[in-house]
Amino acid sequence: MASISLRHVSKLFGSVRAVDDALLDIADGEIICFLGPSGCGKTTTLRMIAGFDRPTSGEILIGDKVVSSAKDNVPPERRNLGMVFQNYAVWPHMNVFANVAYPLKLRRVPKRDLRQKVQHTISLVGLEGLEKRYPEQLSGGEQQRVALARSLVMEPVALLLDEPLSNLDAKLREKMRFELMDLHRQIGVTMVYVTHDQAEAMVLSDRVVVMNRGRVVQVDSPTAIYGEPRDPFVADFIGLANFVPVVLQDESAGQGVAESTGPARTRYRCRVRPHAGRVLPTKGTLFVRPEDVTILPPEEGEVKGTITRATFLGTRLDVRVDVDGVEWRADASTDSDLHEGKQVGLSIRRAIFFDS
């Protein structure tokens, strides 16, 4: 097992800066998920860790060894990394056993050791009894397990996974997430995981690396990424959010009072991030999660509004409320008597102020 470090890593494709000054330390045995919109640089970063792409500048270390820099690039086969791709990449003409054994055959592992290692790894990923089946006889989830076993059989120091569950249906994808977590508990290998699926990142990660336009925006625990976003991009990209234009009127010790810019001039208590040189009043945005908005009778809320939509989502109602031309989004119980056109009040339990 090994740690992985990125030291001011950048990657340019012509004039396009795909990765911009990435700085990151991944601990030995940690599960890190790279998360961000398409084109944000997460797969390029993974490919540089794997050795498929060389950084334009900066260094990548595996353990204490520099494996990638602008001057040198240790080839992928000498990094002892396992790689699992989105499209499985299993050999169609080989059965399960032969697919898993293939990396060991390339290393000329003796037959007796090879059989033991392959059988152990096949058991580890839950493919016992399927050793003689060919990929066309397997489900998508089983093929993905074959790809996983093939990457693990050579005992890599880290496992790199590039959206490995994206081709699976929703139920199987959820099942595989927990199987990956259980597997990690058993073997403890460092995992670097690329995904565009927020739920996947939240379930699997020790820490989430949020990227945007090639830059690492925030590295934090799933709880902190969701509840303590550092800027509006992270707040908007992760989960659902309300963004309300306000003016910060007062602040002290991380707490403040913000006033809406609408006709009602409603005042909200909020948490305020430190900002050197901030002069009050300051225009900005109030960030509130839908679950932090309570729907009340009109006379009991901090603000009053009209429901424009109430959508049944199985376990909850997704309610949209117009307040002086600003749409608020709130969660409500499915047994609530809420419908389009109803007058309601809103109370805000928790809010964060972001400078414009």
Contact, 237 vs 36, CB < 8 A?
yes
User: Nearest-CA neighbor of 242 among 350, 129, 87?
Assistant: 350
Q: How far apart, in whole angstroms, are the C-alpha atoms of residue 46 and residue 201?
A: 15
Give the global pTM.
0.89
Contact, 88 vs 82, CB < 8 A?
no
First CA to last CA distance, the chain: 44
What angle separates helix 96-106 from helix 111-124, to the nearest 10 degrees? 130
Q: How far apart, in whole angstroms, are the C-alpha atoms of residue 190 and residue 46?
A: 13
Task: Tally the C-alpha atoms within 13 A of residue 164's C-alpha that lie toward its C-beta.
Answer: 32
Within 8 A by CB and 6+ apart from 21, the residues are: 8, 9, 10, 58, 215
Read off the tokens for 250.
């007062």
Alpha helices of 6-92 — where are they, by DSSP H?
42-50
What one-character DSSP code corresponds to residue 306? Answer: E
User: Nearest-CA neighbor of 329 among 202, 244, 214?
Assistant: 244
Read off the tokens for 270.
């909020």
Strand, helix or coil for residue 146: helix
| pLDDT reported for residue 322 | 94
Q: How far apart, in whole angstroms, are the C-alpha atoms of residue 86 and residue 132?
A: 23
Contact, 191 vs 184, CB < 8 A?
yes
| pLDDT reported for residue 279 | 86
Q: How far apart, in whole angstroms, are the C-alpha atoms of residue 355 and residue 275?
A: 8
User: Nearest-CA neighbor of 258 among 266, 268, 244?
Assistant: 268
pLDDT in tens, the chain (356 residues): 799 999 999 999 999 999 999 999 999 999 999 999 999 999 999 999 999 999 999 999 999 999 999 888 999 999 999 999 877 778 899 999 999 999 999 889 999 899 999 999 999 998 999 999 999 999 888 898 899 999 999 999 999 999 988 888 888 888 888 888 988 998 999 999 999 889 899 999 999 999 999 999 999 999 999 999 999 999 999 999 999 999 999 988 889 999 988 777 788 889 998 887 888 899 999 999 999 999 999 999 888 999 999 999 999 999 999 998 889 999 999 988 999 999 999 999 999 999 87
Within 8 A by CB and 6+ apart from 267, the residues are: 249, 257, 258, 259, 260
| pLDDT reported for residue 161 | 94
Q: How far apart, in whole angstroms, are the C-alpha atoms of residue 218 and residue 195?
A: 16
User: Nearest-CA neighbor of 187 among 142, 154, 233, 224?
Assistant: 154
| pLDDT reported for residue 273 | 83
User: Nearest-CA neighbor of 218 among 235, 202, 204?
Assistant: 235
Contact, 111 vs 145, CB < 8 A?
no
